[in-house]
A and B are shown apart, each in its own frame.
Chain A
Amino acid sequence: MKVTIDGKEIDVPKGTTILQAARMIGAEVAPPAMCYYSKLKSSGGYCRTCIVKVTKGSTANPTPMPKPVASCRTEVMDGMVVENFTSPEIVEARKGIVEFLLINHPLDCPVCDQAGECKLQDLGYEHGLAESRYEFERREFDMIDIGDKVKLHMNRCILCYRCVKVADQLTDGRVHGVINRGDASEISTYIEQVIDNEFSGNVIDVCPVGALTDKTFRFKQRVWFTKPVDAHRNCPTCSGKVRLWIKGEDVLRVTARKDQWDEVEEFICNACRYDHKKKSDWEIEGPSPVNRHSVISQNQYAHLNQQKLEQLKHQSALGFMKIDKKP
């Protein structure tokens, strides 16, 4: 099936969604997604950040779709034409969505463990407005512990449902879910029960914001001061392929590895996540790939510093200020 997104054409198999097709073309046309998660069944459709305009339904039925559609839940048709970043209407609508997601968000990034790897930060920066028009009190919830390893900070939650789907699809006894309704909805456990399952820690990795954080890592270190490396161990429960977040000789945190769309490659078990925090527990493979726009790439990689040096040398050769002289 041929589909054109922002003027770029691609051939995809039947059943592919617009979002998947856009990701196949590349990041330059891929809509942002806060709730969709390709590894989870029936995810997506809630946050509405990935909406796009279908200007031609298909070759057989060229009628445009009357409203913007969620690209993560809409399958492509042969001959479909889609506008994402090229549609001013969509860019404007997306600003609205980002504003909605932020009006009740506490914006407590300075004290949030997710800062630096938060999808909402990225979204706000890349697709939002510079300032908020919301002048009312933000809704507040109490923080709760979901067991001894996971902290739920509901104020930050954007209700993407990913953690609920992880519990439904990866574990056998879901004890947390979405309660109440409307803007009073919250993620909660049924009377403070513990998520007790060997894959439960994955709720942390799928959370796009700082609503679910790893209590063993909480307030230990800013992520951009830690260095991510890929590592593995022989694990009887999961693949054992993980990402270690290292500072000096200490393993501060263990997470699953994530791909370029920030999705977990393979879910990992709690033993790998919480119980193996020594470098000697792991075979280290090497530095993890990090998006060069990410704050995590700061301070870490010699080759980036090298690039910077080269650039400065270049400037120097052209008669700019000498690099060894401070102004």
Chain B
Amino acid sequence: MESFRGRGLKETLDWPLIICYLLLVFIGWINIYASVQSAEPASIFDFATRSGKQFVWMATAFALAVVILFVISPQVYESFSLPIYLATIVLLVAVIFLGVEVKGSRSWFEFGPVRFQPAEISKISTSLMLATVMSQYGYKIGNARNFILTAAIILLPMAIIVAQSETGSALVYVGFIFMLYREGLSGWLLFMIGVAILLFILTLTLSPYYSILVLAAIVTLCDSAFPGKMKKWFLGVLPALAVLAALPWGQERLVAITHAPGDSFLAELKLEYILAGMCLCAIPYMAVKAFRERSRFLWLSIAAFLAGILLVFSVDFIFHDVLQDHQRKRIEVLLGLKDDPSGVGYNVNQSMIAIGSGGFLGKGFLKGTQTTYGFVPEQSTDFIFCTIGEEWGFAGSAFVILLYAFLIWRIMHDAEKSRENFTRIYGYCVASCIFMHLFINIGMTIGIMPVIGIPLPFVSYGGSSLWAFTVMLFIFIALVRHERRYFG
């Protein structure tokens, strides 16, 4: 039968991707079992325990995957993406009023024993919507109208999720920028976001002064590198910046030598304002230059520089007045500004000790002590990676991470090979989401990201998350299969 309708399962299904998925789900399951393991072991199928429940979620997730692969026609997604997207938005708003409150955020619906989070579905529906819109004939991301529409599709669910106080889940949507980049968004935008994050961190950890200095260095370097005048930058600008970098030290010494009192003009002098003032004076000169040379790049770099300075001076405000208390604390702990080993730092410290104590080969299955003694919080959900790190060591955790890397790489690979714009864009959306979850979740357990409570895809305990990622991935596999059946 199959041969009449196209090629067989063996050729059309992306088996490496499916095997990778099954491996991750299975690894998740045994680690959930290990993480709630106590001295008297229960069966892994005991439905009173989390591993038993996870088994039910797994079985249903597999059933969902089969339905997506063999029952639902893949053409459905493109034609129904708008109603699906709108329905999700309605759910997202409804949950704020009708949902149950879990840890200070209203983002869960509860039906008897089953809880689910609309934010999980919204990743899928947003991806489908984006794929539909962006694969239209004549769509160009450089076109302002198209760009605004795309941004709105992403920002609308994001804003509602922030309103549910689930900032962590909203952060995942930032990952769509990678997809947008693939689809033609300027690389400079990614670069500027990177610089903005760097400035934010520098301002908090060092001082606004150095932050402005680094900003000036980056902007002038770009300005010089663009027309290829690197030599001039190294000889002229770099020494000047080096001198300026030594200025705060000079001020400190001067105050010490002259024994100026703490409130004197010299000690109170805020160097960053002087520096910012100097830079602002230089801007008219640059503007004249830009005008003469008719250099669009120079104009843009001036604008970027001004935006950068604005950011540096508003960091304090953003940090203290915009962010919520617990979010601020998490960032402070991450950047080492405040030591808080009993509160937020406690989780991270415990998580790192658990992972660190694993060593190269780990303590062995069910032999982990840190996780089973209950030191690590949320050990089967957000901090599941601790159990992997402790019991399977560097070898095991590297294996898991490489599995993810392969999964993401494979999705990108398939997406690139696809002839359908819809499939390619959707594929990149899936890859971006999985990547964001992976990097934020594991980054949090090893102390390179602030504590943001989002699950590790396929591995963390929880039906809502497992189902959502399974559906998301298998829609992609089904799209690829559909195409492969008829084309080589």
Whether chain B is bound by chain A comes out as no
On B, residues with C-beta under 8 Å from A are none
On A, residues with C-beta under 8 Å from B are none
